[in-house]
Structure 1
Amino acid sequence: MKTALITGVSGQDGSLLARLLLEKGYQVWGTSRDAQGASFANLQHLGIRERVRCISMVPEDFRSVLVALRRSQPDEIYHLAAQSSVGLSFEQPAETIQSITMGMLNVLEACRMLDKQARIYQAGSSESFGDTEGVAADETTPFHPRSPYAVAKASVFWLLDNYREAYQLFACNGILFNHESVLRPERYVTQKIVSAARRIAAGSGETLRLGRLDIARDWGWAPEYVEAMWLMLQQDTPQDFVIATGHTFTLEAFVAAAFGHFSLDWRQHVVQDEKLFRPTDIQVSRANPAKARAVLGWEARLSGAEVVRSMLAKID
């Protein structure tokens, strides 16, 4: 039986990954900053809370990370813990950069010191690419981050690359494009849209206020993306992978699909609010996931409007 440690197990990706690994026969440990006080609502929602061994760990505290690794003795580490909102990173830039960069550094240092060599997955982000002006980004595309969150994610990409080369760690960056599920909190625009459409269809009478509607993203289905994370750590050599659907969808189209599900005209219920615009934003996010297809045998099955329908149907 393999043992996996998932940092940030209470989030969308951590919970979905925990379920996948349990299905594959792993013993799963998960971390939270306060395991005794956390609700682990996503694990409860998926019906796996009692099967995950949850422990406290503060990623920015090296001793805390080392203790968690020594206690769990993992074969595989999936480092997902950190501030994960691009919008919030403009309001809390220092906390965002510290939590992402120091957390990854501490995991790498702790792994280097332990006798048992665990395989490491790092949650990278397509935000690191910035705006490629419509060109599909792959593993060779230069980074041009345009938010504090993206700057931090680009930094830890190279930090992991350095440790992999210097200390021969089996460590992989997963450069994931946007991926959604019913486990997303409402601070994420996709869940904000889906939840508002459902309430409006039920007669709430509210108006949904959004930022820019002309942005385009590659939106995929999160339960599929955690499978790609696992596949990366099953390879003979550590490599970095872009994980995406390869299809780009505008936010306006996302909104139209959500309201169209209830036979509503979104224009009657949605307004664009300039107060919600970010200081900088990516106009078009486009991906080329060919390497994941060729090496991992992984390919997204749902994209765009299919993701919207799955969220509305509350599919886990």
Structure 2
Amino acid sequence: MTVALVTGVAGQDGSYLAERLVAEGAEVHGLVREGEHPEGLPREVGLCVGDLGDAEGLADLVRRTRPDEIYNLGGISSVAYSWQHPVETGAVSGLGAVALYDAAWRLQEDSGRTVRVLQASSAEIFGTPDRTPQDEGTTVRPSSPYGAAKAYAHQMAAVYRARGLGVSACVLYNHESPRRPETFVTRKITAAAARIAREGSGTLALGNLDARRDWGWAPDYVDAMVRAVRHPVADDFVVASGATRSVADFVAAAFAAAGVDDWSRHVTVDPRFVRPADPAEQVGDPRRAREELGWGGTIAFDEIVGRMVRHDLALLTV
């Protein structure tokens, strides 16, 4: 039986991953923070209280659970938060990942068996990219504390690969689902579209409507991570749709799905929501993931947004 350890198990990706692994018959351990009580996870998941900022605690957790696969999905999830808390972001999303690599390497050395690690990297490591679309060879030059922390973890994955640990890093572009919390702009948009459709009025305050992102379906991206960690050769893989849309495009799709014709009457731009440094366009080239992992997206952009809006409309009728 495969034993898996998942950090960030309470998040969007972690919950989809836990469901998949349990369905496969794996023994799943999930890291949660003190006081965190995630709902909806399979009852088979063993919850372990801990903190990615606690290197000794992580090492002890790896020794106790003895996982075959480690999925590091946890960490600071907000670029905006990282600007306000750069030290914490570095400790949790950067050093925390390396603590897991080191614990996995030591378990592998002590046990004599293979331990595989998946690092959930981010397109934010590219900052303002030197090429479009971005691929695995794009220069890493982050433009935010979040991106810098992820970049350190990403580059240390290669260091530990050279040391003999099978660490694969999936450079994940934006990926959404109804499980996104409303602290993310995409879910903020779909929840507002649903509310305005129900009430017939209201406004939505956003930042840069021209920012362009590459959006995909979260369960597809979880599938890519599983394929990557089990690939015979550990490597970096860009996981993206290969298409770019603006925030305004996302807003238009959400309001259309909610049945609201003129979204511009309900949307205002608030400077408070504009990032200090906001990459104008991020779009990934997923050819390596397609060719080596046999991976591909299954849900189109409009359907992703539509599913989120329908979920938020349903919540308003409960």
- Partner-residue secondary structure (3-state), 1:261: helix
When the two chains are superposed, the root-mean-square deviation of aligned CA atoms in Å is: 1.5
- After TM superposition, list the pairs within 5 Å mapping 1:1-316 onto structure 2: 1-34=1-34, 37-43=35-41, 48=42, 50-114=43-107, 115-116=110-111, 117-132=114-129, 135-165=132-162, 167-203=163-199, 205-264=201-260, 265-314=262-311
Q: Distance in 1 between matches of 2:31 and 2:81?
A: 22
- The amino acid of 2:169's aligned partner reads N
- Partner-residue secondary structure (3-state), 1:302: coil
Contact 2:122 2:172 survives alignment (8 Å) = yes
Q: Distance in 1 between matches of 2:190 and 2:127?
A: 26
Contact 1:210 1:276 survives alignment (8 Å) = yes
Contact 2:258 2:310 survives alignment (8 Å) = no
Q: Distance in 2 between matches of 1:230 and 1:125?
A: 16
Q: Distance in 1 between matches of 2:95 and 2:40?
A: 26
Relative to 1, partners in 2 of residues 1:196 and 1:271: Cα closer, same or farther, differing over 3 Å?
same
Contact 1:134 1:286 survives alignment (8 Å) = no
Contact 2:55 2:99 survives alignment (8 Å) = yes
Listed as ranges, the gaps of 5+ residues in structure 1 are: none
Q: Distance in 2 between matches of 1:136 and 1:194?
A: 27
Contact 1:125 1:175 survives alignment (8 Å) = yes
Report the identity percentage.
40
| TM-score, reference length from structure 1 | 0.94
Higher mean alpha-carbon deviation, 195-204 vs 147-156, is at 195-204
Q: Distance in 1 between matches of 2:272 and 2:250?
A: 21
Contact 1:214 1:252 survives alignment (8 Å) = yes
Q: Which runs of 4+ in 1 moved over 3 A?
A: none
1:148-179: per-residue Cα shift (whole Å, max 9, x none)? 000111111111111110x2001111100000
- The amino acid of 1:245's aligned partner reads S
Q: Distance in 2 between matches of 1:293 and 1:160?
A: 21
- The amino acid of 2:97's aligned partner reads M
**Number of equivalenced pairs:** 307
Post-superposition offset of 1:133: 6.6
- The amino acid of 2:158's aligned partner reads D
Q: Distance in 2 between matches of 1:41 and 1:23?
A: 18
Q: Distance in 2 between matches of 1:92 and 1:111?
A: 28
Q: Distance in 1 between matches of 2:224 and 2:301?
A: 19
- The amino acid of 1:273's aligned partner reads D
- Partner-residue secondary structure (3-state), 2:258: coil
Contact 1:126 1:175 survives alignment (8 Å) = yes
Contact 2:131 2:138 survives alignment (8 Å) = no
Relative to 1, partners in 2 of residues 1:74 and 1:141: Cα closer, same or farther, differing over 3 Å?
same
